[in-house]
Amino acid sequence: MIGRLRGRVAGDEVSGLVLLDVAGVGYEVTTPAGTLGRARKTGEEVELVIHTHVREDILELFGFASENERRVFRLLIGVPNVGPKTAIGVLSALPATELSTAVRAGDVARLTKVPGIGKKTAERLVLELKEKLALDAIVDMPGAAPSQPAGDAATRLTSALTNMGYRASEAEKAVAALGRRVDSTPLGELLREALAILSS
């Protein structure tokens, strides 16, 4: 299975389909909207985390900017009647953090605004994913220290937001909007407030 690809984008992204040139081999990779903007870049090359989907006579590649996005995608396709294309549509309309917020709040109305998601499917997403998409689980990253000095709070918060798919400039503005509270408020609470700012 292919788990990661690094290469040059050959041509423009069309409807979420990216042609990635990896050492002369072109891979067609379907991605959620905005993935290339969030993905890690090295010079002219972009790195995508890949989910390889095999079904009878079809092999498809789905690409994401981070491990977290791929994890959420895999949770989505584990829900009955939600296939890969629908999951990509969900993540294009609602980035992982916004999806988590909507699911945790049981916001069926917001979910049904996603093309291809009807009321029954939205209700099933809430039922199936409410616990699995816990915000803390989405934010926590392997190897993160359980606690760091208060002076590092802004850096940790910015890092958490960028690892969730937000651009550095967006994350920095949200952190700045929280002001001096960053040094005296628990990270989990700060993160929820930052996400509220970014979603407004």
Topology, domain 143-199: Helicase, Ruva Protein; domain 3 (1.10.8)
Whole-angstrom Cα distance, residue 77 to residue 106?
19
83-117: pLDDT as tens digits? 999 999 999 888 888 888 889 889 999 999 988 89
| Nearby residues of 196 by Cβ (< 8 Å), 6 or more positions away | none
Which residue has tokens 């918060």?
157
Which residues face 156 on adjacent strands?
Answer: none
| pTM for this prediction | 0.66
Please report which confidence band the pLDDT of residue 165 belongs to, taking 50, 70 and 90 as the band edges. Answer: low
* pLDDT (0 to 100) of residue 111: 93
Topology, domain 4-64: OB fold (Dihydrolipoamide Acetyltransferase, E2P) (2.40.50)
pLDDT reading at 166 higher than 80: no
Both tokens of residue 87? 């999951």
Whole-angstrom Cα distance, residue 61 to residue 100?
24
Whole-angstrom Cα distance, residue 61 to residue 53?
6
**Contact between residue 58 and residue 43 where contact means Cβ atoms under 8 Å apart:** no
Q: Which CATH architecture has domain 67-136?
A: Orthogonal Bundle (1.10)
Kindly list the domain boundaries of the chain, sorted by start residue.
Answer: 4-64, 67-136, 143-199
